[in-house]
A and B are shown apart, each in its own frame.
Chain A
Amino acid sequence: MSSDAWEAVIGIEIHAQLLTRTKMFCGCALSFGDPPNTHTCPVCLAHPGALPVVNREAIRLAIVAGHALGCEIAERSVFARKNYFYPDLPKAYQISQYDQPICGPGCFRFLTEDGEKTLGITRAHLEEDAAKLLHLGGEGRRANAEGSVVDFNRGGTPLLEIVTEPELHNGPDAASFLKQLRQTLVHLGITDGNMEQGSMRADANISVRPVGATGLGTKTELKNMNSFTYLERGIAAEVDRQIAILEAGGTITQQTLHYEPSTGHITSLRSKEEAHDYRYFPEPDLEPVVPDRAWVEELRAALPELPIDRRERWIREYGLTFEDAEVLSEPVQLGDYFEQVAALAPPKSTANWVRGELRALLRDRGQEPWESRVSPAALAEIITLVESREISMPSAKAVLGHVVEHGGLPREVVAALGLGAIQDEPALVAIVEQLLADNPVQAQQMREGKDKLIGFFVGQAMKATQGRADPARISELVRERAGAG
C-alpha cells in the first residue's frame, strides 16, 4: 500500500493558562520569570491542612471561551481529584474536572485556503497547572540529571484544557486550527497564548487507518508541541512512522511520544512506572459550580466579533483574499487598525497599503501601525488622494514616508512638498509631445504595435515631472498623441 492508502486521524488537546491575576485555588499572584518560590503559600505548597478556593474569574474566562468554542455551558460543573505522584504536583493530585466539565460539546470554525472548516470540541475544563521542575546537571535533561529542584511559582496557575474530537486528517489543518484557536483565545483575553513560554501548549492524539475504514487505529500521544510549525512537522513525522510500521506488518503501541524539532526524531516518553490509574473522584473540598444562567447569557451577549467572523466579513464585504484576511487578522490591533482605515478608504486598497507600504516603512523603525504617527485617518487620506488621482503613487509613498517620520496631515504635506499631481492638461500634453519627438525610434515601434513601449514613455514622463504626473493619464495621452493602438 502507498501512503495515500492511509488516512490520519488527529485530535488535539490544548492547555491554555488563563489571564487571571491570581492562581486557580489561592490568592498568590501569577508571575513569569520571577525568582523561584516567591509566589507560594500554604495552599499552593500543599501544606498540611490547607484548602483550595475557586477563583471566580477563571470560571468567567472558561465560560467566555466556551461560548467562543460553541460549547454548551454546563448547568452544573464539578471539580475532581486526579491522583498521581510527581514532584511538580504538591498535593499528589491535580484538581481538575472529570465527568462534569464546565464546557460541554461544541464546534470550532476555522478558515483554510479551501474555505471554512469545523472541528468538534469534545469538552473544555478547568484545572491547575503543575509547578516547574529544573533539572540540575546533565544538560538540563531529565534522564541524565543529577537531581532536580522544584519552583512552585507556576504551580496552581489556572488552566483551561480544551479537547477536540479526532476529526483532523493532516498537519496543516491541525496547525491552521491551532493558530486560529489561539487567535480567538488571545482576542478574547482568555490567555496570552505565548507558546514559547508555555502559556499555551498542545498535544496531538494521532492514529492512522486505511482509507475508507471507519474505526480508529491505535493512537499515540505527541506531547507539548510549542509552535505551529512543530505541530505540523511532528504530526507528519508521526503519521509517516505509523504508516511505515503498519506497512511492514507491525502494530502500533499506545504510548506518549516526544517530537524533537532539531532532529525530527520521535522518542517515547515511557517511564518504568506502571500505567496511570488516576482514581478520579469528586473533590470534597470544593462545591459544585452552578453558573447563573443570566450571567452565562450576559457573557454570550457581550462576546465581541470572533476573529473568524471578522475575516469572513472582510473577504465577503471587502473583497479581501484569504491571505489578506489572514495577514491582517493577527495581531488583533492590526485588524482594528485596518478596519479604521477601511472605514474611510476603499478596503481592498487599504489592505494593500497596510500589508505593503506601511508595514515595510515601519518595519525599519521597529514600529507597528497602531503605535506609529500614521493615524488611520492619515493613511485613509493618502489612499483617497491616490484614488482620486490627486497625487501619484510615488508621491503618495513620499507623503507616507514623511508622515511616518514627522507626522502631520497628508494634504498639508502634499502642499508643503509640492507633490500634488500636475493637473494642468496642456502642460502634460506638451511633455508627452516633447518625449515623442525626442524618441522617434521608440515612438515608431510603439505605433507598430509594441505596446510595452507605452510604459517607457510613462516612465520618462514621470521622471520629467519628478513623479507628480498621473501615470494613467500619461498613458492615455501617449496613445492619443502617438496615434497608437
Chain B
Amino acid sequence: MIDDHVTRHVARLARLELTESETVQMQHELSAILEYVQQVQELDLATVPPTTHAIPLENVVREDVPTPSVPVELALREAPEVHGDGFAVPRMG
C-alpha cells in the first residue's frame, strides 16, 4: 500500500523520528491498516455531504471582552528550558 519513501515522508511531515526497524515495521502496519480502511472507497458518495460535527451548531462565539491572563511565572512553569521571560527554542539552523 505505501512504500518506504512515503513512510519516511509522512514521518517527516509529522516530525517523528523513527529508527530503521521502526520505519520498516511502520510501513507494514500502515499498509495493513490502509488496506482495511480502504473499504470506505467502495461507496459512491458523490452526492453525500461530509459530516464534520455530529451535533451541528452555528455561530458559537464570544464577546470581545478581556479575561485575565496567567502570570508569567505560571506560563513558564512547565517549560523544559526558559531564557529570561521567554521559552527557549533550540538553534533554528
Please name the residue on chain B nearest to A76 by beta carbon.
Answer: B58
Asked if A21 meets B53 with Cβ closer than 8 Å, knowing A36-B84, A37-B72, A87-B89, the reply is no
- Supply 11 A–B pairs (Cβ within 8 Å), ascending by A: A20-B64, A22-B64, A36-B85, A136-B83, A147-B91, A149-B86, A271-B93, A284-B52, A284-B53, A289-B59, A290-B58
How many chain A residues touch B (CB < 8 A): the figure is: 53
CA distance A150 to B88 in the complex (A): 7
Instruction: Pick from A54-62, A112-120, A413-421 the stretch touching chain B.
Output: A54-62
Instruction: Pick from B9-17, B18-26, B37-45 the stretch touching chain A.
Output: B9-17
Q: Are A57 and B64 in contact (CB under 8 A)?
A: yes
A39 at the interface (CB under 8 A from B): yes
Selected from B58, B69, B85, B91, the residue in CB contact (under 8 A) with A29 is B69
* Chain B residues proximal to chain A, CB less than 8 Å: 9, 12-13, 15, 52-53, 56-70, 72, 75-76, 83-93
Q: Identify whether the interface residues of A are mostly helix, strand, loop, or mixed.
A: loop
Selected from B62, B67, B86, the residue in CB contact (under 8 A) with A56 is B62
A134 at the interface (CB under 8 A from B): yes
CA distance A148 to B52 in the complex (A): 38
A27 at the interface (CB under 8 A from B): yes
Q: Are B86 and A134 in contact (CB under 8 A)?
A: yes
CA distance A292 to B58 in the complex (A): 11
**Top-5 shortest CB links A-B:** A149-B86, A27-B67, A57-B64, A56-B61, A29-B66
CA distance A149 to B60 in the complex (A): 34
Nearest-neighbour CB distance to chain A for B21, whole angstroms, equals 23
Q: Are A149 and B66 in contact (CB under 8 A)?
A: no
A42 cross-chain contacts in B, Cβ below 8 A: 70
Nearest-neighbour CB distance to chain A for B76, whole angstroms, equals 6
Q: Are B70 and A149 in contact (CB under 8 A)?
A: no
B76 cross-chain contacts in A, Cβ below 8 A: 37
Please name the residue on chain A nearest to B10 by beta carbon.
Answer: A277
A39 cross-chain contacts in B, Cβ below 8 A: 69
Q: Contact mask A130-165 → B, CB, 8 Å, 1/0?
A: 000111100000110111111110000000000000
CA distance A52 to B60 in the complex (A): 11
Nearest-neighbour CB distance to chain A for B61, whole angstroms, equals 4
Selected from A28, A56, A152, the residue in CB contact (under 8 A) with B66 is A28
Q: Are A151 and B86 in contact (CB under 8 A)?
A: yes
Q: Are B92 and A290 in contact (CB under 8 A)?
A: no
Q: Are B62 and A55 in contact (CB under 8 A)?
A: yes
A37 cross-chain contacts in B, Cβ below 8 A: 72, 75-76, 85-87
